[in-house]
């Protein structure tokens, strides 16, 4: 007889809590230490560059209109001298291809450059942390304030910080909406607090998430929400430049006095100061090796270089390097020489072709577009004089921002002519539909379908013309 199976008791609340502690880590708030150096300078330079573009473009004017405006109500995208219509979705597709392969190309070369320097999450987190530091003080003062009990001083400081964050978030949301709704209309609505429902929704939505992601969640967005960290590994290879800790040089780590040769004490160059962890926006220790949480911002490089300078050691204990370079002790020349490898050549080639296609497409873009729609109600009919008539609807798009007149003509069948409207004037950046009747002699062709073409040309300038083909039906 087999032994009885012991009964399992239901887990107690204490057991469930213990299991939860094992499965989920409690967030430890990061009080980031500020750092200066070459990479911090580059990061702030890109913060200034991207935000001057973002906040400044809606205020620029071009041809008495907003220079950059994605006008959803009019279904037109204004980008300086260009006006794009829904039919120009081809350019959006090319732009997305360029963005994708640019990401692949630069990631294959030097890792998460986008994440570390230009990602909106990184940029706005830098801005919000700068506001926090100006109001609450450095990382030690912020940590002390965090641990202090609530008081009038803490309430005032926190209220000032949260208020400044809210203003920055709302201004960001307002600027975002200004790309889709004319800025002058938004300013008038702001003066009277009479925003439309969708405008108000998107200002609060975008501003609220800017506040939440950059001010509250910060590194959690990179650690748990951003998918790029999960699939970045497929774009890395042993010759990709990443932030690397030189274990051979740094170990064994430990404190020591300045001026003493660490090798005489059996130690490496790492003094185990922890600054590389204190300046990391995601709170990781780069000395544990490459981790998916690393966003490649190189703040740890700046922090470590400062310590190396104070100790009189060479810089580069933490540096941009590659897996192969660390293993084979390559110098800068060998590292640069391995940048041009099959992966980067393929990415770079496709990226170059996409850029050329975009440039050629924009350069050859016509100022005139014509669509022909046959009148389905009346395919063909006989009119006075024994002529055969077909009716068409012409949609003529003036893609210039000046009013223009266009002449209409038809060719393809002997004796074909347009009856009635032979020219049309179209306002700037507008579309007009016109109904035209095409008549031909009854003996111009055999019964059936015949190819004809509408010729539409600008009346004020030569060389601007479009020929759109269609069919003419001759009755039996």
Beta bridge partners of 468: 454
Per-residue pLDDT, averaged over 97-106, amounts to: 92
pLDDT classification of 5: cutoffs 50, 70, 90: very low
In angstroms, the CA 244 to CA 247 distance is 9
**Contacts with 69 (C-beta within 8 Å, 6 or more apart), sequence order:** 58, 77, 78, 179, 180, 182
Distance CA 368, CA 74 (A): 18
SS3 177: helix
The whole-number pLDDT of residue 20 equals 47
Both tokens assigned to 3? 């032994």
Average pLDDT, the chain: 88
Q: Residues 297-307: pLDDT tens digits? A: 999 999 999 99
Contacts of 407 by beta carbon, 8 Å cutoff, 6+ apart = 422, 423, 456, 457, 458, 459
Question: For position 6, what pLDDT does the model report?
Answer: 45
- Two tokens, residue 446: 């055999």
| pTM greater than the 0.85 cutoff | no
Distance CA 139, CA 105 (A): 36
- In the structure encoding, which two tokens stand for residue 404, read together? 């223009």
pLDDT of residue 7: 43
Handedness of CA 352, 358, 363, 364 (dihedral sign): positive
On the question of pLDDT at 1 being above 50, the answer is: no
Task: Examine the pLDDT at 92 and tell me if it is beyond 80.
Answer: yes
Residue 103 has pLDDT above 80, yes or no: yes
């932030």: which residue's tokens?
243
Residue-wise pLDDT for 257-266, tens only, equals 888 888 888 8
The answer to whether the peptide bond before residue 440 is cis (omega within 30 degrees of 0) is no
Model pLDDT for residues 416-448, shown as the tens digit of each residue: 888 878 888 998 888 899 889 999 988 887 888
For 40-88, what is each residue's pLDDT tens digit?
999 999 999 999 999 999 999 998 889 999 988 888 899 988 888 888 8
Could you identify the residue written with the tokens 């609505």? 189
Enter the tokens of residue 61.
């004017």
Cα first-last separation, the chain: 97
pLDDT band at 4 (very low <50, low <70, confident <90, very high): very low
Specify whether the backbone of 248 is left (phi greater than 0), alpha (psi in -120 to 50) or beta: alpha
Between residues 12 and 210, which one has the greater pLDDT? 210
Cα separation, 284 vs 352, in Å, equals: 36
pLDDT at residue 246 in the model: 92
Q: Are residues 40 and 279 in contact, defined by beta-carbon separation less than 8 angstroms?
A: no
Half-sphere exposure for 63 (CA within 13 Å, toward CB): 15
Question: Residues 194, 199, 201, 207: is their CA dihedral positive or negative?
Answer: negative
CB 471 within 8 A of CB 433: no
In whole angstroms, what is the distance from residue 474 CA to residue 380 CA?
A: 7
∠ CA(128), CA(131), CA(134), 5° rounding?
Answer: 150
Other beta carbons within 10 angstroms of residue 157's beta carbon come to: 17
Give 461 or 109, the one with higher predicted confidence: 109
Predicted confidence (pLDDT) per residue in 317-365, tens digit:
999 999 899 888 888 888 888 888 888 999 999 999 999 999 998 888 8
Best mean pLDDT range from 4-8, 37-41, 62-66, 290-294:
37-41
- Please report, rounded to a whole number, the percentage of residues in the chain having pLDDT higher than 70: 95
Q: What is the pLDDT of residue 402?
A: 85
Poorest-confidence range of 79-88, 115-124, 246-255?
Answer: 79-88
Residue 39, SS3 per DSSP: helix
Report the distance separating Cα 254 and Cα 292, nearest Å.
26
Distance CA 286, CA 276 (A): 7
Tally helices (H) and strands (E) across the chain.
17, 16
Q: How far apart are CA 252 and CA 235, in angstroms?
A: 32
Residue 262 gets which letter from DSSP?
A: G
Q: pLDDT band at residue 375, thresholds of 50, 70 and 90?
A: confident
Instruction: Give the pLDDT mean for 244-255.
Output: 91
Which span out of 182-191, 230-239, 377-386 was modeled with the highest average pLDDT?
182-191
Tens-digit pLDDT profile for residues 400-414: 888 889 999 998 888
High-pLDDT (> 90) share of the chain, %: 52
Looking at residue 374, what is its pLDDT?
A: 85
DSSP state at residue 112 = S
Q: What is the pLDDT of residue 229?
A: 75
Q: Is the dihedral of CA 336, 341, 345, 348 positive or negative?
A: negative
Q: How confident is the model at residue 157 (pLDDT cuts 50, 70, 90)?
A: very high
Q: Find, among 378, 369, 377, 376, the residue nearest to 439 by Cα.
A: 378
């Amino acid at each position: 007889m087999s032994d009885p199976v012991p009964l399992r008791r239901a887990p107690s609340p204490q057991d469930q809590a213990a299991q939860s502690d094992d499965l989920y880590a409690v967030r430890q708030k990061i009080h980031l230490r500020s750092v200066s150096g070459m990479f911090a300078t580059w990061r702030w330079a890109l913060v200034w560059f991207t935000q001057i573009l973002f906040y400044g473009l809606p205020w620029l004017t071009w041809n008495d209109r907003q220079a950059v405006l994605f006008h959803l109500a009019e279904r037109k995208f204004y980008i300086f001298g260009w006006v794009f219509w829904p039919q120009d979705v081809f350019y959006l597709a090319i732009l997305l291809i360029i963005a994708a392969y640019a990401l692949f190309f630069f990631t294959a070369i030097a890792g998460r450059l986008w994440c570390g320097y230009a990602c909106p999450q990184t940029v706005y987190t830098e801005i919000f942390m700068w506001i926090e530091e100006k109001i609450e003080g450095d990382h030690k003062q912020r940590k002390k304030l965090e641990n202090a009990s609530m008081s009038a001083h803490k309430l005032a400081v926190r209220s000032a910080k949260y208020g400044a964050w809210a203003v920055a978030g709302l201004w960001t949301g307002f600027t975002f909406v200004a790309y889709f709704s004319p800025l002058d209309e938004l300013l008038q609505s702001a003066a009277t607090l009479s925003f439309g429902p969708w405008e108000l929704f998107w200002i609060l939505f975008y501003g609220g998430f800017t506040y939440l992601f950059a001010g509250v969640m910060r590194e959690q967005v990179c650690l748990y929400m951003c998918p790029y960290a999960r699939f970045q590994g497929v774009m890395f290879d042993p010759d990709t430049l990443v932030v690397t800790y030189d274990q051979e040089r740094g170990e064994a780590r430990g404190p020591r006095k300045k001026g003493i040769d660490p090798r005489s004490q059996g130690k490496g160059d790492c003094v185990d100061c922890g600054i590389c962890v204190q300046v990391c926006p995601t709170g990781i220790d780069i000395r544990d090796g490459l981790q998916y949480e690393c966003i490649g911002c190189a703040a740890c490089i700046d922090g470590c270089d400062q310590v190396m300078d104070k100790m009189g050691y060479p810089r580069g204990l933490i540096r941009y390097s590659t897996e192969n370079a660390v293993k084979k002790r390559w110098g800068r020349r060998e590292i640069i020489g391995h940048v041009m490898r099959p992966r980067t050549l393929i990415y770079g080639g496709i990226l170059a072709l996409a850029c050329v296609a975009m440039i050629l497409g924009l350069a050859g873009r016509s100022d005139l577009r014509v669509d022909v729609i046959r009148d389905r109600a009346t395919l063909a009919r006989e009119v006075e004089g024994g002529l055969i008539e077909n009716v068409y609807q012409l949609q003529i798009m003036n893609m210039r921002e000046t009013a223009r007149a266009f002449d209409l003509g038809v060719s393809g069948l002997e004796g074909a002519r347009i009856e009635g409207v032979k020219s049309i004037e179209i306002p700037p950046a507008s579309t007009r539909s016109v109904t035209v009747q095409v008549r031909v002699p009854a003996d111009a062709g055999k019964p059936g379908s015949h190819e004809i073409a509408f010729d539409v040309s600008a009346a004020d300038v030569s060389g601007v013309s479009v020929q759109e083909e269609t069919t003419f039906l001759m009755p039996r």
